[in-house]
Amino acid sequence: MGNFEEKLIQYMCHHHIAAKHLTFQESCHSVEEAARAANALPEDLVKNICLIDEHDNLIVAIVKGEDKVDPAKISKLLNIKKPRTAKPEEILEKTGYICGGVPSFGYAAVYLIDAMVMEKDIVYSGGGSQNSLVKISPQELLRANGGKVADIRK
């Protein structure tokens, strides 16, 4: 197990987050790979799309695996200029995790959770590395990141 996963597990423990950390032999980088590894459906997975606003702040848009984020909706919601997609090195710098393993909580960001995510009983999110996932209820995910629920998908 890598340092990224250890860091996330410690965070979950320290903050009493009711979730399960899962590590796999296979890659969980894409939604399809993660669904196969977790024996779940693609719609059971959430993606953490990292965006940067004009003031260099991190916005994490959390949508279901098959959905895309609408930066224009986020711009309107937060009353900011349209945010841009973060580069892999910015993601590592701002979240402390590598692209493809970013969890839905555990670092400073503005968290936005698409309303469709909240309709699920359980979701799988990034587990800190490209070979791990976190199994969590959307309600617990919201509690863990203090996010805002809104319609942010295309």
Domains in the chain: boundaries:
3-150
CATH class belonging to 3-150: alpha beta
User: Per-residue pLDDT tens for 6-35?
Assistant: 999 999 999 999 999 999 988 888 888 999
Distance from CA of residue 63 to its chain's centroid?
8
Q: DSSP assignment of 60-126, as one string?
A: EEEEETT--B-HHHHHHHHTSSPPEEPPHHHHHHHHSS-TT---SSSSS-EEEEEGGGGG-S-EEEE
User: Per-residue pLDDT tens for 41-88?
Assistant: 988 999 999 999 999 999 999 999 999 999 999 999 999 999 999 999
Is the entire prediction scored with pTM above 0.85?
Answer: yes
Residue in 9, 103, 6, 2 with CA at minimum distance from that of residue 50:
103
Residue in 21, 13, 1 with CA at minimum distance from that of residue 126:
21
